[in-house]
Structure 1
Protein backbone atom coordinates (compact mmCIF):
# COMPACT_ATOMS: atom_id res chain seq x y z
CA UNK A 1 0.00 0.00 0.00
CA UNK A 2 2.77 2.45 0.92
CA UNK A 3 4.59 1.72 -2.36
CA UNK A 4 1.47 2.47 -4.42
CA UNK A 5 0.90 5.72 -2.54
CA UNK A 6 4.51 6.69 -3.21
CA UNK A 7 3.73 6.35 -6.93
CA UNK A 8 0.86 8.81 -6.55
CA UNK A 9 -1.83 6.12 -6.59
CA UNK A 10 -4.67 5.66 -4.10
CA UNK A 11 -5.27 1.92 -3.62
CA UNK A 12 -8.54 0.42 -2.40
CA UNK A 13 -8.45 -3.19 -1.28
CA UNK A 14 -11.55 -5.32 -1.63
CA UNK A 15 -12.73 -8.93 -1.53
CA UNK A 16 -15.79 -9.31 -3.73
CA UNK A 17 -16.45 -12.86 -2.54
CA UNK A 18 -16.73 -11.77 1.09
CA UNK A 19 -18.00 -8.26 0.41
CA UNK A 20 -15.09 -6.56 2.18
CA UNK A 21 -14.23 -3.05 1.02
CA UNK A 22 -16.97 -2.97 -1.63
CA UNK A 23 -18.70 0.17 -0.38
CA UNK A 24 -15.37 2.00 -0.40
CA UNK A 25 -15.00 1.31 -4.12
CA UNK A 26 -18.41 2.84 -4.86
CA UNK A 27 -17.65 5.94 -2.78
CA UNK A 28 -14.27 6.37 -4.45
CA UNK A 29 -15.85 6.21 -7.92
CA UNK A 30 -18.43 8.83 -6.98
CA UNK A 31 -15.77 11.10 -5.48
CA UNK A 32 -13.72 10.81 -8.66
CA UNK A 33 -16.69 12.15 -10.61
CA UNK A 34 -17.45 15.03 -8.26
CA UNK A 35 -15.26 17.45 -10.22
CA UNK A 36 -16.90 16.45 -13.49
CA UNK A 37 -20.38 17.16 -12.17
CA UNK A 38 -19.29 20.46 -10.66
CA UNK A 39 -18.07 21.56 -14.09
CA UNK A 40 -21.41 20.53 -15.57
CA UNK A 41 -23.25 22.61 -12.97
CA UNK A 42 -21.02 25.60 -13.70
CA UNK A 43 -22.09 25.36 -17.34
CA UNK A 44 -25.75 25.13 -16.44
CA UNK A 45 -25.92 21.41 -17.16
CA UNK A 46 -27.51 18.77 -14.99
CA UNK A 47 -25.24 16.32 -13.14
CA UNK A 48 -25.10 12.80 -14.51
CA UNK A 49 -24.02 9.42 -13.19
CA UNK A 50 -20.31 8.74 -12.93
CA UNK A 51 -19.25 6.24 -15.58
CA UNK A 52 -16.28 3.96 -15.04
CA UNK A 53 -14.88 0.82 -16.62
CA UNK A 54 -14.06 -2.27 -14.56
CA UNK A 55 -10.83 -3.45 -16.14
CA UNK A 56 -8.12 -5.93 -15.21
CA UNK A 57 -6.71 -9.41 -15.70
CA UNK A 58 -9.12 -12.32 -16.29
CA UNK A 59 -10.49 -14.16 -13.27
CA UNK A 60 -9.75 -11.53 -10.63
CA UNK A 61 -13.36 -10.89 -9.56
CA UNK A 62 -14.44 -7.95 -11.72
CA UNK A 63 -17.94 -9.31 -12.35
CA UNK A 64 -18.20 -10.49 -8.74
CA UNK A 65 -17.48 -6.92 -7.62
CA UNK A 66 -20.29 -5.57 -9.79
CA UNK A 67 -22.71 -8.13 -8.36
CA UNK A 68 -21.69 -7.11 -4.84
CA UNK A 69 -22.25 -3.45 -5.63
CA UNK A 70 -25.72 -4.29 -6.95
CA UNK A 71 -26.39 -6.68 -4.05
CA UNK A 72 -27.74 -9.22 -6.53
CA UNK A 73 -26.38 -11.36 -9.35
CA UNK A 74 -26.71 -9.53 -12.64
CA UNK A 75 -23.54 -10.54 -14.49
CA UNK A 76 -22.15 -14.06 -14.81
CA UNK A 77 -19.26 -14.77 -12.48
CA UNK A 78 -17.18 -17.93 -12.00
CA UNK A 79 -13.76 -19.03 -10.78
CA UNK A 80 -12.30 -19.32 -14.28
CA UNK A 81 -11.12 -16.91 -16.98
CA UNK A 82 -13.24 -16.00 -19.99
CA UNK A 83 -16.71 -15.81 -18.40
CA UNK A 84 -17.27 -12.19 -19.44
CA UNK A 85 -17.06 -12.02 -23.25
CA UNK A 86 -18.53 -8.63 -24.19
CA UNK A 87 -18.84 -5.06 -22.96
CA UNK A 88 -21.94 -4.31 -20.93
CA UNK A 89 -23.07 -1.20 -19.06
CA UNK A 90 -24.46 -1.87 -15.59
CA UNK A 91 -26.37 0.81 -13.67
CA UNK A 92 -25.33 0.51 -10.04
CA UNK A 93 -27.36 3.50 -8.82
CA UNK A 94 -28.51 6.92 -9.98
CA UNK A 95 -24.97 8.14 -9.30
CA UNK A 96 -22.84 5.33 -10.74
CA UNK A 97 -22.67 3.27 -13.95
CA UNK A 98 -19.99 0.63 -14.55
CA UNK A 99 -18.84 -0.96 -17.79
CA UNK A 100 -18.20 -4.67 -17.27
CA UNK A 101 -15.38 -5.69 -19.62
CA UNK A 102 -13.67 -8.98 -20.47
CA UNK A 103 -10.31 -9.55 -18.81
CA UNK A 104 -7.31 -8.28 -20.71
CA UNK A 105 -3.86 -9.77 -21.25
CA UNK A 106 -0.85 -8.68 -23.32
CA UNK A 107 -1.14 -9.76 -26.95
CA UNK A 108 2.06 -11.76 -26.51
CA UNK A 109 3.39 -13.12 -23.22
CA UNK A 110 7.11 -12.89 -23.97
CA UNK A 111 8.00 -12.56 -20.28
CA UNK A 112 8.01 -16.18 -19.14
CA UNK A 113 8.18 -15.27 -15.45
CA UNK A 114 5.03 -13.16 -15.85
CA UNK A 115 3.34 -15.93 -17.84
CA UNK A 116 4.11 -18.40 -15.06
CA UNK A 117 2.54 -16.17 -12.42
CA UNK A 118 -0.56 -15.66 -14.58
CA UNK A 119 -0.91 -19.42 -14.98
CA UNK A 120 -0.49 -19.98 -11.25
CA UNK A 121 -3.31 -17.51 -10.59
CA UNK A 122 -5.51 -19.14 -13.27
CA UNK A 123 -5.58 -15.93 -15.31
CA UNK A 124 -4.96 -17.71 -18.61
CA UNK A 125 -6.78 -20.68 -20.10
CA UNK A 126 -5.71 -24.06 -18.75
CA UNK A 127 -5.08 -25.34 -22.28
CA UNK A 128 -2.15 -22.91 -22.52
CA UNK A 129 -0.02 -24.47 -19.77
CA UNK A 130 1.06 -27.72 -18.14
CA UNK A 131 -0.20 -28.14 -14.57
CA UNK A 132 2.87 -30.01 -13.39
CA UNK A 133 5.35 -27.46 -14.71
CA UNK A 134 3.34 -24.58 -13.29
CA UNK A 135 2.99 -26.25 -9.88
CA UNK A 136 6.74 -26.91 -9.81
CA UNK A 137 7.28 -23.27 -10.75
CA UNK A 138 5.09 -22.18 -7.83
CA UNK A 139 7.23 -24.18 -5.42
CA UNK A 140 10.40 -22.60 -6.81
CA UNK A 141 8.92 -19.11 -6.46
CA UNK A 142 8.22 -19.92 -2.81
CA UNK A 143 11.80 -21.12 -2.41
CA UNK A 144 13.20 -17.96 -3.99
CA UNK A 145 11.28 -15.71 -1.61
CA UNK A 146 12.74 -17.48 1.41
CA UNK A 147 16.23 -17.06 -0.06
CA UNK A 148 15.80 -13.39 -1.00
CA UNK A 149 13.65 -12.08 1.85
CA UNK A 150 14.22 -14.66 4.62
CA UNK A 151 10.42 -14.95 4.81
CA UNK A 152 9.74 -18.48 6.12
CA UNK A 153 5.96 -18.29 5.67
CA UNK A 154 6.12 -19.60 2.10
CA UNK A 155 7.87 -22.91 2.70
CA UNK A 156 6.16 -23.30 6.06
CA UNK A 157 2.82 -23.19 4.23
CA UNK A 158 3.88 -26.13 2.05
CA UNK A 159 5.07 -28.18 5.02
CA UNK A 160 1.91 -27.42 6.95
CA UNK A 161 -0.37 -28.38 4.07
CA UNK A 162 1.38 -31.44 2.63
CA UNK A 163 3.81 -32.58 5.32
CA UNK A 164 6.74 -32.37 2.91
CA UNK A 165 9.68 -29.97 3.25
CA UNK A 166 10.54 -28.09 0.05
CA UNK A 167 14.05 -27.09 1.10
CA UNK A 168 17.09 -28.42 -0.73
CA UNK A 169 15.19 -29.80 -3.76
CA UNK A 170 13.82 -28.64 -7.09
CA UNK A 171 10.17 -27.86 -7.68
CA UNK A 172 9.85 -30.99 -9.83
CA UNK A 173 11.38 -33.15 -7.10
CA UNK A 174 9.08 -31.63 -4.48
CA UNK A 175 6.02 -32.30 -6.63
CA UNK A 176 7.12 -35.92 -7.09
CA UNK A 177 7.60 -36.35 -3.35
CA UNK A 178 4.17 -34.91 -2.55
CA UNK A 179 2.66 -37.22 -5.17
CA UNK A 180 4.32 -40.26 -3.56
CA UNK A 181 3.46 -39.31 0.02
CA UNK A 182 -0.17 -38.26 -0.54
CA UNK A 183 -1.46 -39.31 -3.96
CA UNK A 184 -0.06 -42.78 -4.75
CA UNK A 185 2.50 -41.29 -7.11
CA UNK A 186 -0.05 -39.32 -9.16
CA UNK A 187 1.92 -36.20 -10.12
CA UNK A 188 -0.94 -34.62 -12.05
CA UNK A 189 -3.26 -34.89 -9.05
CA UNK A 190 -0.57 -33.44 -6.80
CA UNK A 191 -0.04 -30.54 -9.22
CA UNK A 192 -3.75 -29.76 -9.54
CA UNK A 193 -4.19 -29.89 -5.77
CA UNK A 194 -1.24 -27.59 -5.11
CA UNK A 195 -2.46 -25.03 -7.65
CA UNK A 196 -6.03 -25.16 -6.36
CA UNK A 197 -4.87 -24.77 -2.75
CA UNK A 198 -2.91 -21.66 -3.67
CA UNK A 199 -5.74 -20.16 -5.71
CA UNK A 200 -8.43 -20.57 -3.05
CA UNK A 201 -6.17 -19.42 -0.21
CA UNK A 202 -5.54 -22.74 1.54
CA UNK A 203 -1.82 -21.89 1.63
CA UNK A 204 -2.49 -18.44 3.05
CA UNK A 205 -2.32 -14.99 1.49
CA UNK A 206 1.08 -15.27 -0.16
CA UNK A 207 1.84 -12.81 -2.99
CA UNK A 208 3.90 -13.93 -5.98
CA UNK A 209 5.49 -10.51 -6.45
CA UNK A 210 6.72 -7.74 -4.20
CA UNK A 211 7.08 -4.04 -5.05
CA UNK A 212 10.53 -3.17 -6.45
Structure 2
Protein backbone atom coordinates (compact mmCIF):
# COMPACT_ATOMS: atom_id res chain seq x y z
CA UNK A 1 0.00 0.00 0.00
CA UNK A 2 1.47 3.35 -1.02
CA UNK A 3 1.59 6.27 1.41
CA UNK A 4 -1.32 8.11 -0.23
CA UNK A 5 -3.55 5.08 0.34
CA UNK A 6 -2.29 4.88 3.94
CA UNK A 7 -3.30 8.50 4.52
CA UNK A 8 -6.83 7.86 3.25
CA UNK A 9 -7.15 4.67 5.29
CA UNK A 10 -6.06 6.58 8.41
CA UNK A 11 -8.70 9.23 7.67
CA UNK A 12 -11.40 6.56 7.37
CA UNK A 13 -10.32 5.04 10.70
CA UNK A 14 -10.31 8.52 12.26
CA UNK A 15 -13.92 9.08 11.20
CA UNK A 16 -14.87 5.63 12.49
CA UNK A 17 -13.27 6.22 15.91
CA UNK A 18 -14.90 9.66 16.13
CA UNK A 19 -18.33 8.21 15.35
CA UNK A 20 -17.88 5.52 17.99
CA UNK A 21 -16.82 8.12 20.55
CA UNK A 22 -19.81 10.32 19.73
CA UNK A 23 -22.10 7.30 20.13
CA UNK A 24 -20.60 6.52 23.54
CA UNK A 25 -18.94 3.26 22.50
CA UNK A 26 -15.46 4.72 23.14
CA UNK A 27 -14.48 6.69 26.22
CA UNK A 28 -12.21 9.74 25.87
CA UNK A 29 -9.04 7.90 26.91
CA UNK A 30 -9.63 5.06 24.46
CA UNK A 31 -10.54 7.53 21.72
CA UNK A 32 -7.31 9.47 22.20
CA UNK A 33 -5.24 6.28 22.23
CA UNK A 34 -6.88 5.17 18.99
CA UNK A 35 -6.30 8.55 17.31
CA UNK A 36 -2.67 8.65 18.44
CA UNK A 37 -2.08 5.28 16.79
CA UNK A 38 -3.05 6.67 13.37
CA UNK A 39 0.42 7.71 12.29
CA UNK A 40 1.75 7.42 8.75
CA UNK A 41 5.33 7.55 7.50
CA UNK A 42 5.47 8.74 3.89
CA UNK A 43 7.87 7.65 1.15
CA UNK A 44 10.40 10.32 2.16
CA UNK A 45 10.40 9.13 5.78
CA UNK A 46 8.33 12.02 7.18
CA UNK A 47 6.03 11.22 10.10
CA UNK A 48 2.39 12.38 9.97
CA UNK A 49 -0.56 12.16 12.33
CA UNK A 50 -4.15 13.41 12.49
CA UNK A 51 -4.96 16.05 15.08
CA UNK A 52 -7.46 15.04 17.70
CA UNK A 53 -10.77 16.80 17.22
CA UNK A 54 -10.08 18.64 13.95
CA UNK A 55 -8.97 15.67 11.84
CA UNK A 56 -6.29 17.80 10.15
CA UNK A 57 -2.94 16.31 9.19
CA UNK A 58 0.16 17.48 11.04
CA UNK A 59 3.81 16.87 10.13
CA UNK A 60 6.58 16.18 12.67
CA UNK A 61 9.55 18.53 12.12
CA UNK A 62 11.82 17.01 14.75
CA UNK A 63 10.79 19.33 17.56
CA UNK A 64 7.10 20.09 16.94
CA UNK A 65 3.99 19.18 14.99
CA UNK A 66 2.99 21.64 12.24
CA UNK A 67 -0.22 21.71 10.20
CA UNK A 68 0.39 20.50 6.63
CA UNK A 69 -1.18 18.41 3.90
CA UNK A 70 0.33 15.21 2.50
CA UNK A 71 -1.68 15.57 -0.72
CA UNK A 72 -0.85 17.52 -3.87
CA UNK A 73 -4.60 18.19 -4.17
CA UNK A 74 -5.96 17.80 -0.64
CA UNK A 75 -9.45 16.31 -0.27
CA UNK A 76 -12.01 18.23 1.81
CA UNK A 77 -11.91 17.55 5.54
CA UNK A 78 -14.97 17.70 7.76
CA UNK A 79 -13.87 18.65 11.28
CA UNK A 80 -15.31 16.70 14.19
CA UNK A 81 -15.84 19.17 17.02
CA UNK A 82 -18.04 17.25 19.46
CA UNK A 83 -15.25 15.31 21.17
CA UNK A 84 -13.37 17.06 23.96
CA UNK A 85 -9.92 17.90 22.65
CA UNK A 86 -6.58 18.96 24.00
CA UNK A 87 -6.52 22.74 24.49
CA UNK A 88 -4.83 24.54 21.60
CA UNK A 89 -3.11 27.90 21.46
CA UNK A 90 -4.96 30.69 19.70
CA UNK A 91 -3.87 30.93 16.07
CA UNK A 92 -4.44 34.68 15.96
CA UNK A 93 -3.98 36.67 19.18
CA UNK A 94 -6.40 39.58 19.35
CA UNK A 95 -3.82 41.92 20.76
CA UNK A 96 -0.12 42.10 21.53
CA UNK A 97 1.48 44.38 24.08
CA UNK A 98 5.03 45.31 23.12
CA UNK A 99 7.15 47.87 24.92
CA UNK A 100 8.39 50.94 23.02
CA UNK A 101 11.93 49.62 23.36
CA UNK A 102 10.88 46.34 21.74
CA UNK A 103 8.95 47.88 18.89
CA UNK A 104 12.09 49.13 17.16
CA UNK A 105 10.28 51.52 14.85
CA UNK A 106 13.32 53.79 14.59
CA UNK A 107 15.48 52.55 11.73
CA UNK A 108 19.24 52.79 12.15
CA UNK A 109 20.12 53.86 8.62
CA UNK A 110 23.71 54.71 9.51
CA UNK A 111 24.21 51.24 10.97
CA UNK A 112 22.63 49.71 7.89
CA UNK A 113 25.01 51.63 5.62
CA UNK A 114 28.00 50.50 7.67
CA UNK A 115 26.90 46.88 7.38
CA UNK A 116 26.43 47.22 3.62
CA UNK A 117 29.93 48.66 3.24
CA UNK A 118 31.30 45.84 5.40
CA UNK A 119 29.58 43.14 3.32
CA UNK A 120 30.67 44.85 0.09
CA UNK A 121 34.32 44.83 1.16
CA UNK A 122 34.13 41.19 2.24
CA UNK A 123 32.49 40.22 -1.06
CA UNK A 124 35.09 42.10 -3.13
CA UNK A 125 37.95 40.49 -1.21
CA UNK A 126 36.54 36.95 -1.45
CA UNK A 127 35.65 37.10 -5.13
CA UNK A 128 38.89 38.96 -5.88
CA UNK A 129 40.86 36.10 -4.34
CA UNK A 130 38.81 33.55 -6.28
CA UNK A 131 39.32 35.40 -9.56
CA UNK A 132 43.03 35.88 -8.92
CA UNK A 133 43.52 32.20 -8.06
CA UNK A 134 41.70 31.08 -11.21
CA UNK A 135 43.72 33.45 -13.40
CA UNK A 136 47.08 32.50 -11.89
CA UNK A 137 46.75 28.78 -11.26
CA UNK A 138 44.29 27.47 -13.86
CA UNK A 139 46.06 26.76 -17.12
CA UNK A 140 44.62 28.59 -20.14
CA UNK A 141 42.02 30.33 -18.00
CA UNK A 142 40.34 32.86 -20.32
CA UNK A 143 40.53 36.47 -19.12
CA UNK A 144 36.86 36.90 -19.95
CA UNK A 145 36.18 34.28 -17.28
CA UNK A 146 36.86 37.03 -14.77
CA UNK A 147 33.67 38.67 -16.01
CA UNK A 148 31.74 35.68 -14.70
CA UNK A 149 33.42 36.03 -11.32
CA UNK A 150 32.59 39.73 -11.30
CA UNK A 151 28.97 39.02 -12.20
CA UNK A 152 28.70 36.50 -9.35
CA UNK A 153 30.13 39.11 -6.98
CA UNK A 154 27.60 41.70 -8.18
CA UNK A 155 24.67 39.31 -7.68
CA UNK A 156 25.93 38.48 -4.18
CA UNK A 157 26.17 42.20 -3.37
CA UNK A 158 22.63 42.87 -4.60
CA UNK A 159 21.20 39.99 -2.53
CA UNK A 160 23.05 41.18 0.58
CA UNK A 161 21.95 44.79 0.04
CA UNK A 162 18.32 43.79 -0.33
CA UNK A 163 18.43 41.62 2.78
CA UNK A 164 20.15 44.27 4.88
CA UNK A 165 17.88 47.11 3.75
CA UNK A 166 14.58 45.46 4.72
CA UNK A 167 12.82 46.17 8.01
CA UNK A 168 9.72 44.36 9.19
CA UNK A 169 8.05 43.17 12.36
CA UNK A 170 4.83 41.61 13.51
CA UNK A 171 2.98 38.79 15.25
CA UNK A 172 3.14 35.21 14.02
CA UNK A 173 -0.48 34.26 13.38
CA UNK A 174 0.12 30.90 11.70
CA UNK A 175 2.90 28.45 10.90
CA UNK A 176 2.25 26.10 8.01
CA UNK A 177 4.35 23.63 6.07
CA UNK A 178 4.59 23.75 2.29
CA UNK A 179 5.52 20.80 0.13
CA UNK A 180 8.26 21.75 -2.33
CA UNK A 181 9.42 19.77 -5.33
CA UNK A 182 13.17 19.16 -5.62
CA UNK A 183 14.97 17.91 -8.74
CA UNK A 184 18.59 16.75 -8.59
CA UNK A 185 21.23 16.75 -11.35
CA UNK A 186 19.91 13.43 -12.66
CA UNK A 187 16.35 14.79 -12.89
CA UNK A 188 15.22 12.60 -9.98
CA UNK A 189 12.25 14.19 -8.24
CA UNK A 190 11.76 14.26 -4.48
CA UNK A 191 9.77 16.40 -2.08
CA UNK A 192 10.75 18.37 0.98
CA UNK A 193 8.57 20.08 3.57
CA UNK A 194 9.44 23.65 4.55
CA UNK A 195 7.76 25.53 7.44
CA UNK A 196 6.68 29.12 6.78
CA UNK A 197 5.51 31.67 9.34
CA UNK A 198 2.66 34.00 8.43
CA UNK A 199 3.36 37.29 10.21
CA UNK A 200 0.81 40.06 10.68
CA UNK A 201 2.60 43.41 10.48
CA UNK A 202 1.31 46.54 12.30
CA UNK A 203 -0.23 47.71 9.01
CA UNK A 204 -2.32 44.52 8.89
CA UNK A 205 -0.37 43.09 5.96
CA UNK A 206 0.53 39.40 6.20
CA UNK A 207 4.19 38.63 5.53
CA UNK A 208 5.34 35.10 4.73
CA UNK A 209 8.79 34.17 6.03
CA UNK A 210 10.59 30.88 6.36
CA UNK A 211 10.11 29.77 9.95
CA UNK A 212 13.03 29.47 12.35
CA UNK A 213 13.37 26.86 15.09
CA UNK A 214 11.80 28.26 18.25
CA UNK A 215 9.21 30.42 16.52
CA UNK A 216 5.65 29.81 17.71
CA UNK A 217 2.23 31.22 16.97
CA UNK A 218 1.78 34.39 19.03
CA UNK A 219 5.48 35.34 19.07
CA UNK A 220 6.45 38.90 18.09
CA UNK A 221 9.37 38.81 15.65
CA UNK A 222 11.36 41.66 14.16
CA UNK A 223 13.92 42.05 11.36
CA UNK A 224 15.88 45.31 11.60
CA UNK A 225 17.73 47.13 8.87
CA UNK A 226 21.43 46.40 8.99
CA UNK A 227 21.08 42.80 10.22
CA UNK A 228 20.50 39.63 8.25
CA UNK A 229 18.33 37.66 10.68
CA UNK A 230 15.13 38.26 12.62
CA UNK A 231 14.88 38.28 16.41
CA UNK A 232 12.13 36.67 18.45
CA UNK A 233 10.75 39.01 21.13
CA UNK A 234 8.38 36.38 22.51
CA UNK A 235 4.78 36.89 23.57
Which of the two has greater strand per residue? 2
TM-score scaled by structure 2? 0.24
Q: Which has the larger radius of gyration?
A: 2
Q: State the structure with bigger RCO (CA 8 A, min sep 6), 1 or 2.
A: 2
Structure with more of its chain in helix, by fraction: 1
